[in-house]
Chains A and B, each alone.
Chain A
Amino acid sequence: MTAMPLLPTAFADFEPFAETWCLGTERERWDRRMSSSIDELQTFYDAVLPRVQEAIEYCDQVPLDDMPDDTVNLLRLIYSFVIVSFPVELWRQPYVPDTLGTSFDRISEPLP
């Protein structure tokens, strides 16, 4: 764990995942998902799921265009939860079954 926490103190229990999953773009999140094992994805998903709605409500307290860094990190961690939910809830493996011959790159997205 880093010396300085990345996330709001209210979400200190997510801190062990912050360095791995607070990623700024979908491309980074996708790459992280694809290079993780399904067990790693499951562990992250299980840790976040019980408090994800609470985390979204926390982010809702500040405007999107004026978010403190720790809240932006929390939002990015929620995005990672979203992209990890598919392998955990549906595929039981990091990638979408029968799709290894192709890719579909996200080239732009709203920030944060």
Chain B
Amino acid sequence: MFRLDARAMPVSERTHMARYPKPAEGSWTEHYPELGTDTISYEDSTSPEYYELEREAIFKRAWLQVGRLEQIPRTGSFFTKNIAATDTSVIIVRDGEDVRAFHNVCRHRGNRLVWQDYPREEISGTTRQFTCKYHGWRYGLDGACTFAQQEGEFFNFDRAEYGLVPVHCDVFSGFVFVNFAEQPSQTLREFLGPMLLGIEGYPFDQMTDRYAFRVECRANWKVFSDAFMEFYHAPVVHVGQHPSQLRAAITEMGYEAPHYQIDGPHGLITTAGSLHRVWEMPPENVKPADIATRSGLFGPWNKSDLGELPPGINPGKIQPWGLSSFQFFPNFAILIWEAGWYNTHQFWPTSHNTVIFEGNVYSLPAKSASERVGREMAAVSFKEYSLQDANTLEATQMGLEAGVIDQFPLNDQEVLVRNFHKVVGDWVHEHRRERLRG
């Protein structure tokens, strides 16, 4: 264990990288031999044609997270989610214990059914039925068409045949997922697999204090995701988040994760908690505002009591544990922090080189002003470093699009990046083969 005090840190510890044991094969990358160790191409992130393939092969076939149950607390609660990659908007609606998803399209002449003021924007609300703004057709919460204006003027018309088009929908730990395949090849639980199912039982449903962020950036969705699959960049891009006297030592020390895991298309990176225990550091090495609010980069210092947690949130059994970042293929991540809060990242492509980045920070409801101030500090920190990521990734996209380099090396701390691009390639390849087979 090391302390984040440059003076107390022996030079050997600052420069020696193998702080944590690697798998028997010698590296995390070689522990998963199908990944190989070669350089990789980033053509998958600069080509409009490749993006068209990804839309069909991935976004119309994978289970996609679209929101949380707390957004639809009672019968009739709904929200819409626009997904550019599939050219769709979906309505997610609660009907008793059921959660349903429908294409947000009126069956009469194709008008977008649910919107307000701006047809392109997402909305949420509570309703007894959905009424089309164009000709007044109405649909129940079960999607059935309940009213067609001047029904008698249609020909050979049976209203029962004109229900909303359903989308496959399922819920895991309060996260709502949809799947645009006609018949998904796996159930949601089969798709998630044992590693992600291992976080079931974490009290996501109780953590309703939510800070939500959103921006559209000029980077490929995978280039953007990459930066959230490795912390190798953290001691460089984010070093400024630390007091100036620590920065040189932090960059020199670099980053090493104590545990990586890959399960099917999904990944996990765990960070050790030694850097997170800010309150144990000499106060001159802590930002005064962090001391005042007892919070900061790694969240509030006073740990939230969440009761007993499922062992699956720290499958590497790392102690001291900092956080586990669960990467849900293709575009969602949940980061569970030791201090008793979690955040999510999601990356929605809008073209081959633009992406909507959504971030959420969740905690138990604050019981006091001091708890609320601690969460505010964590949410502000989240924005400060997310801005550093977002801006850097626009620069990366431009560099890649220059097209002067065709092969890039990835190190062992970038094993999830390597896996991610491989899985995307595998899904695209598989889809092409299926199409050729007809």
Contacts and interface: CB of A to CB of B under 8 A. Distances in A.
Interface of A: 26, 49, 52-53, 56-57, 59-60, 62-64, 67, 75, 78-79, 81-83, 85-86, 89-91, 96-110, 112
B377 A104 contact: no
B289 A108 contact: no
A102 B392 CA distance: 9
B108 to A, nearest CB: 32
A31 to B, nearest CB: 13
Contacts of B368: 59-60, 63-64
B28 to A, nearest CB: 30
A107 B387 contact: no
Interface of B: 209-215, 217, 240-241, 243-244, 287-289, 292-293, 357, 359, 365-370, 372-373, 375-377, 379-380, 383-384, 386-388, 390-392, 394-395
Q: 4 tightest A-B contacts by CB?
A: A85-B289, A59-B369, A99-B387, A99-B391
A82 to B, nearest CB: 5
B292 A49 contact: yes
Given A108-B210, A110-B211, A102 B390 contact: yes
Contacts of B375: 110
A81 B376 CA distance: 11
Contact of B383 (A62, A81, A104): A104
Contact of A56 (B240, B359, B373): B373
A86 B394 CA distance: 23
Given A56-B293, A98-B388, A110-B366, A105 B240 contact: no
A83 B293 CA distance: 12
Contacts of B390: 99, 102, 104
A22 B85 CA distance: 41
A23 to B, nearest CB: 13
A105 B287 contact: no
Nearest to A58: B369
Q: Which of A49, A75, A109, A112 has the most CB of B within 10 A?
A: A109
Contact of A105 (B213, B391, B392, B394): B213
Contacts of B212: 106-109
A26 B392 CA distance: 23
A112 to B, nearest CB: 8
24 contacts: A26-B379, A49-B292, A57-B370, A59-B368, A59-B373, A60-B369, A63-B368, A78-B373, A79-B373, A82-B380, A90-B240, A90-B244, A101-B394, A101-B395, A102-B217, A102-B387, A102-B390, A102-B391, A102-B394, A103-B387, A104-B357, A105-B213, A109-B210, A112-B372
Nearest to A72: B369
B150 to A, nearest CB: 40
B211 A49 contact: no
Contacts of B386: 104
Nearest to B363: A110
Nearest to B375: A110
A90 B287 contact: yes
Contacts of B293: 52, 56, 82
Contacts of B357: 104
Contacts of A79: 373, 376
A81 B390 CA distance: 25
Given A64-B366, A91-B240, A104-B386, 10 more contacts: A26-B379, A59-B369, A82-B293, A82-B373, A89-B243, A98-B391, A104-B214, A104-B359, A110-B366, A112-B372
A98 B288 CA distance: 24
Contacts of A100: 391
A20 B138 CA distance: 49
Contacts of B241: 90
A86 B387 contact: no
B4 to A, nearest CB: 16
A64 B217 contact: no
B145 to A, nearest CB: 33
Nearest to B393: A102
A89 B212 CA distance: 25
B388 A99 contact: yes
A62 B383 CA distance: 29
Contact of B369 (A75, A96, A99): A75
A49 B288 contact: yes
A52 B292 CA distance: 7
Nearest to B365: A110
Nearest to A86: B384
B372 to A, nearest CB: 6
B373 to A, nearest CB: 6
B213 A104 contact: yes
